[in-house]
Chain A
Amino acid sequence: MQSPGALEISRRDLLVASAATVTVASTASLSHSQTNAPAASQSTKVSFTVNGERRELQLDNRTTLLDALREHLHLTGTKKGCDHGQCGACTVLIDGRRVNACLTLAAMHEGEGITTIEGLGQPGSLHPMQAAFVEHDGFQCGYCTPGQICSSVAMLEEMKVNIPSHATGDLLAPAEVTPAEIRERMSGNICRCGAYSNIVQAITEVAGRKA
């Protein structure tokens, strides 16, 4: 159930933001060339797909994938919690694998396919993992939540292709989806609100549903 008021603000912002993405990116680079433009070699053109849509950006080399998503494409569902690979709030999927978007340069992802939380589902058509997080109250402040959800979706895929973890008992046997496995594999996503117990239940439910 939606709260019309709370949703209203964000919906409006979201619609405005996505409609204007292309314009914003181009004005930003325009302003650069007019003022203190960095030397040409200090910016790089990169194109990749984000949530299935092709994006082309001319970026300062220093731009992380995280800042490219948040500040240039205005996909702010991917969060900046620490910017140093110590919290997991920026977790996105690159060609299906989960990574910390804060510790990789956007320029390094030419031709790759990036999936963010916005690409998994929307209010009204939630991804099963998003729905399970709501059902099990697997979040509180919501700031680590997109990272937790992206991480958990990729993590279940990792288990399917038999990638082991620190919690895997026998390295030569396929890992099973147990609470201990989920906890270990999700440990790169910190939740200071402490929703861990509920998150594990949400993931367990989705894993079971899939099995």
Chain B
Amino acid sequence: MRAFSYERASTIEAAAKAAAGTDGAKFIAGGTNLLDLMKLEVETPTHLIDVNRLGLDRIEPAPEGGLRVGALVRNTDLAADERIRRDYAVLARALLAGASGQLRNRATTAGNLLQRTRCPYFYDTNQPCNKRQPGSGCAALGGFSRQLAVVGVSDACIASHPSDMAVAMRALDAVVETVRPDGTTRSIPIADLHRLPGDTPHVEHVLERGELITAVVLPKPVGGKHIYRKVRDRASYAFALVSIAAVVLPNGTGRVAVGGVAPKPWRDEAAERELPNGAKAVTAKLLANARPTEQNAFKVALVERALSAVLAEARG
């Protein structure tokens, strides 16, 4: 871990300004992903801005009828919130399927959205990785790719996004609120937050330098049956091979986002319209452009089968 200077930010504006004005600055909240990567020198910030005391830890009603979740709300607290459990159960379930009790106690809403891939080559600084070191190549293509993405990938990168929470938020059409260093704010639909790798896999999201996530807004509840199905080798404390976040309405329509298969939470509204026609029809559209490796080709079948189980549960 390289040396860095450290400050505890006291206001949102000061935090954003400090981040923009300092080369190599990063925000630190829970730290559960950033410190992991800093120890390996995958991340090498020269300055850390501790945003834990910015008061962004509340869950409040949003004016339009949803909930505004502060960026610093811990995963545990978000999952335990009565309103989330009642109206956004798919989100509570996704959060609880992630990591461990200890990690959920630290990990934050914003940090979870921005967590980085678990691709083993990304984690090993001796190996080529276009995401970590642009232009160095991708060792995962032709290497160990069982966990990695099958869709939305490029020749430069097949990393998958590891979040559970973000998959549920994608299904819920959450909106990310930010503050930029100049003090302006903006709202980014979660669908637009993450970028596909293309030939710039190191650019993972649309946030600008110094831009700080302040909240995630959940639109007003959509009802229906909420299911989050995470498929993994180990029964707990493991990343998803495939996960399904589904909200199914009594008429058989609904929403589906898929995790573990793409560089971002994967949802396709056209595929979703096939929901009444069953898992096969949805998957055919959702993964129509899949480009799996030999090692992760099983994910295509797995998505269909897991979705099929989810739909059966929703009907039952």
Query: A residues bordering B, Cβ < 8 Å?
Result: 38-39, 41-42, 44, 60-62, 64, 83-85, 88, 91, 97-100, 103-105, 107-108, 110, 151, 154-155, 158, 161-166, 168, 171-172, 183-190
Contacts and interface: CB of A to CB of B under 8 A. Distances in A.
Contacts of B97: 166
Given A171-B85, A187-B236, A108 B96 contact: no
B3 A104 contact: no
A38 B3 contact: yes
B237 A187 contact: yes
B314 to A, nearest CB: 16
Contact of A166 (B31, B89, B105, B236): B236
A108 B52 contact: yes
B92 A41 contact: no
Q: Which of A91, A104, A166 has the most CB of B within 10 A?
A: A166
Contacts of A189: 100
Given A88-B100, A171-B85, A188-B100, A105 B237 contact: no
B79 A103 contact: no
B39 A83 contact: yes
Interface in B1-17: 1, 3-6, 8
B193 interface: no
A166 B79 CA distance: 10
Interface string B16-45: 000000000000101110011001000000
A162 B80 contact: yes
B106 interface: yes
Contacts of B235: 184, 187
Given A99-B105, A171-B85, 12 more contacts: A41-B6, A42-B5, A83-B39, A85-B103, A99-B102, A103-B30, A103-B36, A108-B28, A171-B86, A171-B92, A187-B237, A188-B99
